[in-house]
Amino acid sequence: MKQLMKGNEAIAEAAIQAGCRFFFGYPITPQNQIPEYMSKRLPQVGGCFLQAESEIAAINMVYGAGGAGARVMTSSSSPGISLKQEGISYIVGAEVPCVIVNMVRGGPGLGSIQPAQSDYYQATRGGGHGDYRMCVLAPGSVQEAVDLTQDAFDIADRYRNPVLVLGDGLIGQMMEPVDMDKVADRAPAADLKEKNWAANGHIPTEDSPRAIINSLYIDPQVLENHCKRLQAKYDLIAANECRWQEEMLSDAEIVIVAYGTTSRIARSAMRKCREKGIKVGMLRPITLWPFPDAALRKTLSTAKAYLVLEMSMGQMVDDVRLAINGERPVHFYGRTGGMVPTVAETAAQIEQLAQSIAPDDGTCRTEFEKTVRGAAEKIDAAAEVVGKKLDEAGKKITETFNSPELHKKAQDVGKQASDFAVRTADTVAKGVTELFGAIGKAVESVQKDLKDIEQQQKAESDESEPPKDGGKEGE
């Protein structure tokens, strides 16, 4: 049965249903309902909630609980996540699984408390020091936030690595119907191994030796080997955990790329533009890292341009450009500082982009293109007419000069035939010259010249034949 829940509260309950029993955090808008909800619910299920003295303290408490093998979560919003970065890097280096939720707000600095997506670089590029990666999940609805939060715990345990759930103020604050019965008492994934590496106070055995949770490696060669092993793990994550959604891409000439809240705006704009005959589709990354490069490249078969929609000054647009590798133009439209793009704004961007795409199906999209194409068609038609007329004239001249009758007549009126040939050549040359100078005038000129030729031929023929009524020649 579905129930109406606020995004932040739904995420908190989903974590509890996935076995999370420890939460450490610090209040900051717009994610405050997560720790507030956890403070009430965790004691009811035998868990522990603790509001730390700072974000720095909270992330290090997560480090400890995760290192002991517990399912643990923390949450914050943009400036708070920045404060946690050193601890996150330690957790990655020590290979400790945990879930981190970031409900992004406008920045930089304290910025605003309104929704934004301007933490994309921080989320997908590690954010802290050292060579590391985290799987980044970007829900587009409250229900998906519930599902991905539970998936995040499995992914974290599978690879012994933190997983980041990246939402925004809208996802966290909006209320939507969610099916919590479906996610109740979710058991860990079947492929997960026992945490015999955890420092849980166990007596060391051959199968579970002494547990050392550490990210410090003094020997550079040892640290390099460790980093290479971590990279191999990131490669596995990239191969196995990449997720995306495709909509109306089979014939899409314009591909929108958007995630989270903006994907919902893009979807509505896309449908409005489809009603107008614009071939537009959408690819929605669900994992921002690993980014769905291969899926995006498959759209090159139909795509003529890409439009990236973000609530930022343009961050994911870089990953789209890298995936496309310069083979198509990639455009960007975004609002930032807590401003949210509207459906009308997005649809206008799609329509503007559609007008800029040169059609290859014989249709015209702009008045200028119609005018140019119309003029070109008229010129082509005129040139064809002139060409046919010149060809016909040439054939007539050739037939006339090659006929035995003309040769016989030429013996009697050689001078007249010679003058006629000169005049004919001059006429043809004149017609060719005016074809290149002005097609319209050339048509008229050729028609006139052809008429003159016919009249001259008739006159010459009349002069060479005897009178039919018995009169003398020349009378």
From first CA to last CA, the distance across the chain in angstroms is: 117
Tell me, what's the pLDDT at 210? Answer: 87
- Per-residue pLDDT at 154 exceeds 80: yes
Alpha-carbon gap, residue 475 to 472, rounded angstroms: 6
425 pLDDT higher than 70:
no
Quick: pLDDT tens for 276-293. 999 999 999 999 999 999
How many percent of the chain have pLDDT more than 70?
75
Percent of the chain with pLDDT over 90: 72
Pairing of strands 287-289, 305-310: unpaired
Domain 246-356 CATH assignment equals 3.30.1330.10: no
The gap from C-alpha 439 to its chain's centroid, in whole angstroms, comes to 47
> Lowest-pLDDT range, 80-84, 96-100, 305-309, 467-471?
467-471
DSSP 8-state symbol, 246: E
Residue 444 is predicted with a pLDDT of: 61
Q: What integer pLDDT is reported at residue 419 of this predicted model?
A: 54
CATH tag, 2-187+212-240: 3.40.50.970
- Decide if pLDDT at 244 tops 90: yes
pLDDT tops 50 at residue 417: no
- Rounded to whole angstroms, the Cα distance separating 318 from 124 reads 12
Nearest partner of 282 among 272, 114, 87, 188, judged by Cα? 272
Residue 207 pLDDT level (bands cut at 50, 70, 90): confident
426-438 pLDDT tens trace = 544 454 455 445 4
Confidence of residue 416 (pLDDT cuts 50, 70, 90): low
Residue type, 316: M
How many angstroms separate the CA atoms of 376 and 370, rounded? 10
Higher pLDDT, 370 or 349: 349
What pLDDT sits at residue 1?
84
Judged against a pLDDT cut of 60, whether residue 220 lies above it is answered with yes
Compute the distance between CA of residue 381 and CA of residue 456 in angstroms, rounded to an integer: 29
Would you state the pLDDT for residue 139? 98
Q: What's the CA dihedral at 321, 322, 327, 332 to 10 degrees? A: 0
Tell me which DSSP letter residue 211 carries. -
Q: 């439009």: which residue's tokens?
A: 307
pLDDT at residue 371 greater than cutoff 70: no
d(CA 140, CA 171): 7
Q: How far apart are CA 368 and CA 353, in angstroms?
A: 16
| pTM for this predicted structure | 0.76
Torsion sign (Cα): 297, 299, 301, 303 = negative
Give tens-digit pLDDT for 31-61: 999 999 999 999 999 999 999 999 999 999 9
Neighbours of 249 (CB within 10 A): 20
Question: Is pLDDT larger for residue 154 or for residue 369?
Answer: 154
Q: Return the exposure string of 200-220: e unless at least 16 CB atoms fall within 10 Å of the residue's CB, then b.
A: eeeeeeeeeeebebebeeeee
Q: Is the pLDDT of residue 226 over 90?
A: yes
**The predicted structure's pLDDT at residue 282:** 98
- When mean pLDDT is compared across 87-96, 208-217, 369-378, the lowest value belongs to 369-378
Q: Where are the domains of the chain?
A: 2-187+212-240, 246-356, 367-464
Q: Which single residue is written with the structure tokens 């249903």?
A: 17
pLDDT of residue 432: 44
**The pLDDT of residue 357:** 87
C-alpha 69: how far from chain center: 40
Spell 29-55 as b/e; 16+ CB within 10 A means b.
ebbbbbbbbbeebbeeeebebbebeeb
Alpha-carbon gap, residue 55 to 342, rounded angstroms? 34
Question: At 374, is the secondary structure helix, strand, or coil?
Answer: helix
Mean pLDDT of 241-265: 98
Q: Answer whether the bond into residue 290 is a cis peptide, omega within 30°.
A: yes
Which range among 10-19, 317-326, 408-417 shows the weakest confidence by mean pLDDT?
408-417
**Buried residues in 375-408 as b, exposed as e (16+ CB within 10 A):** eeeeeeebeeebeebbeebeeebeebeeeeebee
Q: Read off the pLDDT of each residue in 322-346 and give the average, rounded to a whole number.
A: 97
Reported confidence tier of residue 88, pLDDT bands at 50, 70, 90: very high
pLDDT for position 87: 98
DSSP state of 42: G
Task: Determine the pLDDT at residue 405.
Answer: 64
Please provide the average confidence, as pLDDT, over all residues in the chain: 86
Alpha helices in 360-403 (DSSP H): 367-402
- Is the pLDDT confidence value at 471 over 50? no
Calpha distance 413→401 (Å, rounded): 14
